[in-house]
RNA sequence: UCCUCGGUAGCUCAAGCGGCAGAGCGGGUGACUGUUAAUCACCAUGUUGGCGGUUCAAGUCCGCCCCGAGGAGCCA
């Protein structure tokens, strides 16, 4: 079998080449007298390869079966194109139609479709320019996350998908049962899908030093918004000996690393979004790469918001001790600073039990990173490493200490200061592609009331 | 879960007060052309989301349901 070249390789040839094999899906065909132009795409890059088919090589009635959406394998010569829109084209010697696509029924047109329509045909939308680009960027970003951590001596760990208790202390969990049996028949206790790998990651960092998990996470919250999915992907690093400031430094560095390298390595795809989806995208990405993130304490944020309330007239009045509302976050990251904003040192009463109590005894060493357009993309904290304080927290929040004995062991034997955060991967993709609905960054999204494909 | 808006041809949308359901794109056929969102001509396309109600008459008004979008809460 001949080697199959991907279109990305072919378009980077520095000289012509004979007898090249390419495969792909037809985007469009234009017939001329005596020959036809066919553009195919194979997903390796945004660009199509133009095939020139002489009707002497393939009779016209055969050529007419090459319709939009059909799949083909072609062998031919790569030669410089006289046309202005492409450097190389293929003069086809032999062409085989692998699978036809009835043009009366194939749902994808050459023209633009709405995101809502494409979501209904999620199994086919990958064949459009926009969704191909989103998934290529998603792939690249995932790889860059691994590269970032691996270069910094982190170990990639696999935390459980099936868990016995939830991490946040509350929240809606999916329960795991053996089909047709009692709730706890299999594990002899209730079992759930993970909402975070943090607690087990903490255990592993107390031995491996620096670790990260990167995997699917599940939340059964009935929240129907463009930013929530029932199944999403989260990056969760956990670092021994890191304090909150080092935690924030790492998160900022990670976001800058992924954004800058996607801009470099997927420049064609980013250009597509900048041209056709959001003119301000590249500029916004560059700002994130070049400018330091704004860092403000929660108390400062409340101060700024209270001041701004006179003009903005927020629906929820900012008040120390209350969580920041969506309108507050948007004001800070989009209007006031127009930059990524890190808010840290939150009141302890609105944060979970494992966050480290600050010396003021009122706040904890927590931090959130807010991105313009997307909102909260990172949530993290320095963890409470003091055994007594942690026990008190668990008791005060009415949780069962029996469930956390192993977690408390980490504070009993060689406890160290440590920190970590969770980064919503799909939300980062939203930011990178200026996609406004998380359902469009996940190939087959799961949301309340929707479980297709 | 709550609030708001929407559902009409394959797609994107139009159809003042209830009165014969339309356009562009896409598709088909033909012409022309190293074309490239090709161009030109002609042709076809409908259970107006579903069920029920009001009416001589419902895409349009009323009720219930389904689906989608935006906003809110919660969060990543």
pLDDT digits (tens, 9 = 90+) for A319-347: 899 899 999 999 999 889 989 999 999 99
The pLDDT value recorded for residue A403 is: 85
Q: Report how far residue A451's alpha carbon sits from residue A230's, in angstroms, rounded to the nearest whole number.
A: 10
Region A343-360: what's the mean pLDDT?
Answer: 93
- Distance from residue A450 (CA) to nucleotide B50 (C1'), in Å? 19
The pLDDT value recorded for residue A1 is: 65
Region A145-173: what's the mean pLDDT?
Answer: 84
Q: Which domains does chain A have, with CATH numbers?
A: 7-99 (2.40.50.140), 125-293+339-440 (3.30.930.10)
Q: Report how far residue A236's alpha carbon sits from residue A250's, in angstroms, rounded to the nearest whole number.
A: 12
Q: Report how far residue A79's alpha carbon sits from residue A24's, in angstroms, rounded to the nearest whole number.
A: 19
Is the pLDDT score of A423 beyond 70?
A: yes
pLDDT band at A279 (very low <50, low <70, confident <90, very high): confident
Q: Which residue has the higher pLDDT, A302 or A190?
A: A302
Query: How many Cβ atoms from other residues are within 10 Å of residue A252's Cβ?
Result: 18
Q: Report how far residue A271's alpha carbon sits from residue A263's, in angstroms, rounded to the nearest whole number.
A: 9
- Distance from residue A51 (CA) to nucleotide B8 (C1'), in Å? 40
The pLDDT value recorded for residue A388 is: 95
Asked if residue A31 keeps its beta carbon closer than 7 A to nucleic acid strand B, the reply is yes
Which nucleotide is the nearest neighbour of A236, by CA and C1'?
Answer: B76
- Distance from residue A225 (CA) to nucleotide B3 (C1'), in Å? 13
Which nucleotide is the nearest neighbour of A424, by CA and C1'?
Answer: B76
Residue percentage of chain A with pLDDT more than 70: 98
Who among residues 167-196 of A has its Cβ near strand B, under 7 Å? 168, 171, 196
- Distance from residue A358 (CA) to nucleotide B70 (C1'), in Å? 40
Region A178-183: what's the mean pLDDT?
Answer: 84
Q: Report how far residue A288's alpha carbon sits from residue A340's, in angstroms, rounded to the nearest whole number.
A: 7
Region A191-218: what's the mean pLDDT?
Answer: 94
Q: Report how far residue A363's alpha carbon sits from residue A380's, in angstroms, rounded to the nearest whole number.
A: 14
Region A283-299: what's the mean pLDDT?
Answer: 94
Asked if residue A228 keeps its beta carbon closer than 7 A to nucleic acid strand B, the reply is yes
- Distance from residue A225 (CA) to nucleotide B4 (C1'), in Å? 14
* 8 A C-beta contact, residue A217 and residue A233: yes
Region A380-398: what's the mean pLDDT?
Answer: 93
Asked if residue A327 keeps its beta carbon closer than 7 A to nucleic acid strand B, the reply is yes
Is the pLDDT score of A264 beyond 80?
A: yes
3-class state of residue A116 by DSSP: helix
Output the average pLDDT for chain A: 91
The pLDDT value recorded for residue A170 is: 47
pLDDT band at A399 (very low <50, low <70, confident <90, very high): confident
DSSP readout, A327-363? HHHHIIIIIIS-S-EEEEEEEGGGS-TTBPBPTTSSE
Which residue's alpha carbon is at the shortest distance from the C1' of B28? A104
User: Given the structure tokens 């993970």, which residue do they identify?
Assistant: A194
Q: What is the pLDDT of residues A13-48, one digit of tens each?
A: 999 999 999 999 999 998 888 888 999 999 999 999
Which nucleotide is the nearest neighbour of A452, by CA and C1'?
Answer: B67
Region A256-270: what's the mean pLDDT?
Answer: 96
- Distance from residue A113 (CA) to nucleotide B23 (C1'), in Å? 18
Q: Which of A234, A215, A219 minimizes the C-alpha distance to A421?
A: A234
pLDDT band at A171 (very low <50, low <70, confident <90, very high): low
Is the pLDDT score of A169 beyond 70?
A: no
- Distance from residue A338 (CA) to nucleotide B71 (C1'), in Å? 22
Say if strands A294-297 and A341-347 run parallel, antiparallel, or are unpaired.
parallel
What is the value of ipTM here, to two decimals?
0.85
Which nucleotide is the nearest neighbour of A369, by CA and C1'?
Answer: B76
- Distance from residue A166 (CA) to nucleotide B34 (C1'), in Å? 64
- Distance from residue A116 (CA) to nucleotide B52 (C1'), in Å? 30
Who among residues 247-306 of A has its Cβ near strand B, under 7 Å? none
* 8 A C-beta contact, residue A60 and residue A33: no
Q: What is the pLDDT of residues A227-256, one digit of tens each?
A: 999 999 999 999 999 999 999 999 999 999
Who among residues 66-125 of A has its Cβ near strand B, under 7 Å? 67-68, 81-86, 89, 91, 103-104, 107, 109-111, 113-114, 116-117, 119
Which residue's alpha carbon is at the shortest distance from the C1' of B38? A30
Nucleotides of B under 7 A from a protein CB: 1-2, 10-13, 25-29, 32-38, 67-76
For residue A4, give every residue at least 6 positions away whose Cβ sits within 8 Å of its Cβ, in sequence order, or none.
A21, A22, A23, A73
Asked if residue A377 keeps its beta carbon closer than 7 A to nucleic acid strand B, the reply is yes
Is the pLDDT score of A383 beyond 90?
A: yes
Asked if residue A32 keeps its beta carbon closer than 7 A to nucleic acid strand B, the reply is yes
The pLDDT value recorded for residue A110 is: 76
Retrieve residue A445's tokens. Answer: 């999204």
Which nucleotide is the nearest neighbour of A37, by CA and C1'?
Answer: B35
- Distance from residue A127 (CA) to nucleotide B4 (C1'), in Å? 34
The pLDDT value recorded for residue A90 is: 94
């Amino acid at each position: 079998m001949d080697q199959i070249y991907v279109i990305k390789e072919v378009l980077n040839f520095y000289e012509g080449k004979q007898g090249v094999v390419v495969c792909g899906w037809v985007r469009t065909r234009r017939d001329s007298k005596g020959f036809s132009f066919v553009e195919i795409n194979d997903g390796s890059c945004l660009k199509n390869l133009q095939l020139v088919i002489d009707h002497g090589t393939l009779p016209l009635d055969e050529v007419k079966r090459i319709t939009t959406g059909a799949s083909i394998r072609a062998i031919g010569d790569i030669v410089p194109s006289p046309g202005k829109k492409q450097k190389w084209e293929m003069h086809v010697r032999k062409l085989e139609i692998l699978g036809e696509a009835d043009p009366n029924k194939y749902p994808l047109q050459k023209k633009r479709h709405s995101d809502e329509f494409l979501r209904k045909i999620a199994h086919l939308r990958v064949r459009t320019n926009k969704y191909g680009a989103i998934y290529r960027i998603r792939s690249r970003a995932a790889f860059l996350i691994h590269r970032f951590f691996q270069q910094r001596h982190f170990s990639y760990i696999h935390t459980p998908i099936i868990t016995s208790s939830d991490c946040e202390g509350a929240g809606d969990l999916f329960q795991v049962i053996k089909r047709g049996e009692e709730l706890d028949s299999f594990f002899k206790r209730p079992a759930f899908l993970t909402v975070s790998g943090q607690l087990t990651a903490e255990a592993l960092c107390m031995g491996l030093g620096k670790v990260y998990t990167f995997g699917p996470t599940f939340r059964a919250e009935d929240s129907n918004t463009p930013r929530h999915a029932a199944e999403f992907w989260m990056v969760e690093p956990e670092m021994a000996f890191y304090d909150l400031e080092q935690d924030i430094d790492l998160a900022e560095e990670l976001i800058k690393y992924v954004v800058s390298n996607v801009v470099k390595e997927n420049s064609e795809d980013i250009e597509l979004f900048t041209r056709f989806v959001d003119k301000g995208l590249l500029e916004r990405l560059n700002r994130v790469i070049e400018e330091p993130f704004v860092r403000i304490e929660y108390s400062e944020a409340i101060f700024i918001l209270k001041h701004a309330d006179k003009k903005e007239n927020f629906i929820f009045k900012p008040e120390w001790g209350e969580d920041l509302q969506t309108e507050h976050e948007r004001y800070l990251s989009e209007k006031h600073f127009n930059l990524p904003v890190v808010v840290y040192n939150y009141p302890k009463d609105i944060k979970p039990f494992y966050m480290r109590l600050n010396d003021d005894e009122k706040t904890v060493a927590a931090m959130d990173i807010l991105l313009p357009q997307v909102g909260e993309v990172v949530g993290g904290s320095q963890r409470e490493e003091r055994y007594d304080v942690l026990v008190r927290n668990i008791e005060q929040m009415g949780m069962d200490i029996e469930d956390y004995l192993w977690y408390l062991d980490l504070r009993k034997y060689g406890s160290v200061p440590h920190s970590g955060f969770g980064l919503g991967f799909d939300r980062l993709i939203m930011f990178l592609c200026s996609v406004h609905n998380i359902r469009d960054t996940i190939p087959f999204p799961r949301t309340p009331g929707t479980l297709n494909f």
